[in-house]
Structures are given as structure tokens and as C-alpha cells.
Amino acid sequence: MEFMDFLRGTAALVVAVQHCGENLFPKFAKFTHDYFSFGKLGLVIFFLVSGFVIPLSIEKGHSLKRFWVQRFFRLFPLYWVSLAAVVIIYLLGYTPIFDPPFRAHLWRNVLVNVTMFQGAFRVPQAIGLYYTLTIEMFFYIACSLLLLIKQLRNTYALTWVLLVAVSALWILGPLVFHRRMEMAGLFYGVTLFCGTAIYRYYKGNISAKAMNALMGALLLSVSVGVYLNYVYTKKVEMQFSYVAVFGPWFVGFVMFFAAYALRNREFPAVGMWLGRISYSVYLVHPIISFLFRYGRTGGIGLFLITIAVTLLVATVTYYAIEKPMIDLGHRIVKRKQLIAA
């Protein structure tokens, strides 16, 4: 589906712009906290795409074993290369690439990060954005369990249950317990399951009326939740404003539905290219950004060079590492199918 590749590419690019920009320009960082976070926009799109694609992949493959083999070769080899790269950079003397909590127990933290489940063990992330991959892995596990208990086709109802549960947390937390909830992680979990609901709509399993009801409830819940957790509760340093959170989350859903509406159209070639290398862009851009900003001051020229080099390196890692590993995963699956036959 071309619209999925286009969305992946767009998401990866805006996340790279967010991180490269905030690392080089303090004013850009302030803008993204006060008015519009491009990083939050990219993550919403990423999670909606995953929510749509994962049930499709599982059902199309008719095998959890096939799904997990392909996911492993799709995600882990390049992830391990990016982890090895930051460790090497650290050993070469660029110690600030790791935060102090990570450096405190360096090798233990590195080993746990190898699993991609470090967030579950409250172990610091080698690269900050790794936490989103932990969320993805738990979503894969959830979808696998739902398939085993024959409930994967009922994710629309499950999305409602999840929305009600997390809405209670991010609304009652501030009002009753006077505690700000970590709303982003909860919202991204709901977003993943919203992606599955959209897939059910695409397959004709639910009506447009049912889909609109879910989106309306989500809009209401999130608009209230963002106010309570980002405005009503006590602010912390560099806390995001209401519009900087709600705006990109809302725009992310709008962009997804717009691309979905145009799914039968041909998308720009550059968007397809960005979609292919999106995972590489996602993993390499923090490393490139660190190396280019280390000991330097910001400037638009340096920012553009950082983005250009990121895209170049991501293209290389895609063709040298990511694509060969994906192809290897497909060959292993086909070989197992032939043996089984």
C-alpha cells in the first residue's frame, strides 16, 4: 500500500527534523514545546501505521511463527547496529552520547538494551527514541495473544475498552489524586489500537458510523486529558503546552485519514523512497545529529547538512543492512514452508 510508505516516510522525516532542529536551535526547541511538536506528530503517524499494518501482516501470513521471524529480521539487525554504533562512539571518547544514568551501569544497560525491552525493566535507553520500539514490541505481543484466543478481529471493541480505561487514568489522576499522568505513553497505546480499528473499517468489519463514534470519543477524551495533564497540573521544566501536544496528535490523525482517503492514488516517488528507508532514518538520525552538533553551534546550514547526511547514511544502511536482513527473513520463512510441505 503506497499510502503506508508515504506516511512512514513523512513520519520519519518530521521526527528527524524535530530532533536535529532542537539539538541545534534552542529557539526551535522552545517553539516545539510551546506551539507544535513535530516529534509527537511523527510518532502518532508511526503508531497508526503500525496499528493498521500488524493485523494485516498477521492475517495475511496465516502464521505467528512467520510473523515473528519476519519482524525479527525487519527490526533487530539494524537496531543492533545502531546500538553498537553509539557504544563505539562512546568508547572513542564522545561520552555525552549517553546520559549519566546510562553511564552509571554502562554494560548492564547495553546488554538489556539489546533485547529492545529495556523500558519494561526500567533500564535507561541507549538512544531516547528506543522507548517507542518497546511499545511496538508489546503491541506485537498483544496482537499475537489476541490471535491465539481468536480475538484479533474484535479489536474495535477492545479499542473502546482501552480508551475508557486510559481515559479514566488521565482524567481521574489529576482530578482525584492530584497527580500528572504520563499521558503520551498511554495515548500511543490507544493510537496503536485505533490503527487496528481503522484496519477493521478498511476490511468492512465495522461501519463508518462506528468508526466516527470511536474517533469522536477519542477526540473528546484527549482534549480533556491534555488540558488536565499539561495545563491543570503543576508544570515541570520544559513541559509541553496544550497546543504543542494536542495539535500534533490531532494533525497526525488527520494526515493518516487524508492519506487513507487517497489510498488508490499514486503517491510521489520521493515519499515512497522515504518510506522504504524510514526505519533507517529513525534509527540513524539521533547518531548523526549528535556527531554534527558535538562542540558546534547551530546554524541553518549545519541543520540542512545534518538532514542530508542522515538521509544518505539511512539509504546506505537500508541497502547494506536492513533490506538484506528483510530478504533473509523472507527466505527463511519460505524454506520452512517448503520443508513443512
At residue 299, the pLDDT reads: 82
* Single-letter amino acid, residue 244: A
Tell me which residue of 95, 143, 97 sits closest to 288, measured CA to CA.
Answer: 97
Tell me which residue of 137, 82, 129, 132 sits closest to 110, measured CA to CA.
Answer: 82
User: Phi/psi at 268 (nearest 5 deg)?
Assistant: -60, 145
Instruction: Kindly state whether residue 175 falls inside one of the protein's structural domains.
Output: no
Instruction: Kindly state whether residue 224 falls inside one of the protein's structural domains.
Output: no
Q: What is the DSSP string of 222-289?
A: HHHHHHIIIIISPP-TTPPPHHHHHHHHHHHHHHHHHHHHTTTSPPPHHHHHHHHTHHHHHHHHHHHH
Q: Which residues contact 213 (CB under 8 A, 6 or more apart)?
A: none
At residue 62, the pLDDT reads: 77
What is the number of domains present in the chain? 1
CA dist 24 → 127, 200, 239 (Å) = 17, 42, 19
Q: Which residues contact 65 (CB under 8 A, 6 or more apart)?
A: 336
* Whole-prediction pTM: 0.95
CA 5 – CA 10 distance, rounded (Å): 9
CA 74 – CA 312 distance, rounded (Å): 20
pLDDT tens string 136-179:
999 999 999 999 999 999 999 999 999 999 999 999 999 998 88
Q: Identify the domain containing residue 142 by its residue range.
A: 2-150+235-340
Whose cell is 510521489? That residue is 268
pLDDT tens string 255-268:
999 999 999 999 99
Instruction: Kindly state whether residue 6 falls inside one of the protein's structural domains.
Output: yes
Element containing residue 73 per DSSP (H, E)? helix 64-91
Instruction: Kindly state whether residue 43 falls inside one of the protein's structural domains.
Output: yes
At residue 334, the pLDDT reads: 86
C-alpha cell belonging to residue 166: 486510559
CA 180 – CA 174 distance, rounded (Å): 5
Instruction: Kindly state whether residue 161 falls inside one of the protein's structural domains.
Output: no
- What residues of the chain score a pLDDT lower than 70? 234, 236-238, 295-298, 337-341
CA 151 – CA 59 distance, rounded (Å): 12
Instruction: Kindly state whether residue 99 falls inside one of the protein's structural domains.
Output: yes
Instruction: Kindly state whether residue 195 falls inside one of the protein's structural domains.
Output: no
Instruction: Kindly state whether residue 254 falls inside one of the protein's structural domains.
Output: yes
Per-residue exposure over 206-221, b if at least 16 CB sit within 10 Å of its own CB, e if not: beeebbeebeeebeeb
